[in-house]
């Protein structure tokens, strides 16, 4: 009896993996904005209903793809260790900011599925935001101990501020009126300097 129940589960897992593989190929070559459900199901060889049995909708599929990328960037940030300056915080954040800054769809999905807008929640994306704040707070706590950043407020509050500035800079980056003369990370730097610099 166990063999019969495992075969459908195995096929379901294989189908999901194939859907993600095809979707990843599309966004890698054409960008997240170009992802269309029709292309994914056609290239995978399944019906639309099959895709929707794995993902609520196209945004649900995007949330899984984007969430995985964000987690990968967070892995890299953790591997770099604690920054030794405010400038180095920006340097640690640059690959993540560059990824998000490549396509407005990434930023929109992250905000919509983070739970911060109250619209929808995706566990991986929400976990990514929580992990990001936790990582920032751990960096800042160590940096506070050696006087690199201000210590008049908690490292958690400072971390929340960094997250708010990240969202602010990226929102400006995607505004049509913004001329994008800077990269998101260079636009972030002055905010972090003012927010984190110890009082003189």
Of 9, 26, 54, the residue that ends a domain is 54
Instruction: Return d(Cα 128, Cα 41) in angstroms, integer.
Output: 28
Ranges of H-type helices in 117-154: 123-145
Of 11, 32, 54, the residue that ends a domain is 54
CATH number at residue 133: 1.10.357.10
pLDDT tens, position by position, 84-137: 999 999 999 999 999 999 899 999 998 887 766 555 556 778 888 889 999 999
pLDDT tens, position by position, 26-62: 999 999 999 999 999 999 999 999 999 998 889 889 9
Q: Is the pLDDT score of 179 beyond 90?
A: no
Domain span holding position 85:
57-196
Q: In Å, how far are 19, 55, 70, 153, 176 from 111, measured between CA atoms?
A: 24, 18, 13, 26, 18
Residue for token pair 């994008």: 180
Residues 14 and 45 in one domain: yes
């Amino acid at each position: 009896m166990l063999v019969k129940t495992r075969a459908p589960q195995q096929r379901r897992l294989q189908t999901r993996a194939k859907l993600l593989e095809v979707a990843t190929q599309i966004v890698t070559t054409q960008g997240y904005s170009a992802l269309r459900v029709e292309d994914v199901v056609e290239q995978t060889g399944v019906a639309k209903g099959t895709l929707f049995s794995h993902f609520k909708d196209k945004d649900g599929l995007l949330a899984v793809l984007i969430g995985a990328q964000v987690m990968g960037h967070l892995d890299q940030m953790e591997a770099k260790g604690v920054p030794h300056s405010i400038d180095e915080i920006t340097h640690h954040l640059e690959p993540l900011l560059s990824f998000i800054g490549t396509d407005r769809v990434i930023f929109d999905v992250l905000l919509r599925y983070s739970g911060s807008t109250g619209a929808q929640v995706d566990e991986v994306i929400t976990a990514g935001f929580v992990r990001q704040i936790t990582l920032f707070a751990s960096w800042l706590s160590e940096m506070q101990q050696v006087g690199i950043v201000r210590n008049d407020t908690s490292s958690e509050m400072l971390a929340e501020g960094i997250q708010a500035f990240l969202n602010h800079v990226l929102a400006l980056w995607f505004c049509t009126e913004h001329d994008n003369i800077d990269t998101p990370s260079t636009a972030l730097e002055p905010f972090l300097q003012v927010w984190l610099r110890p009082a003189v």
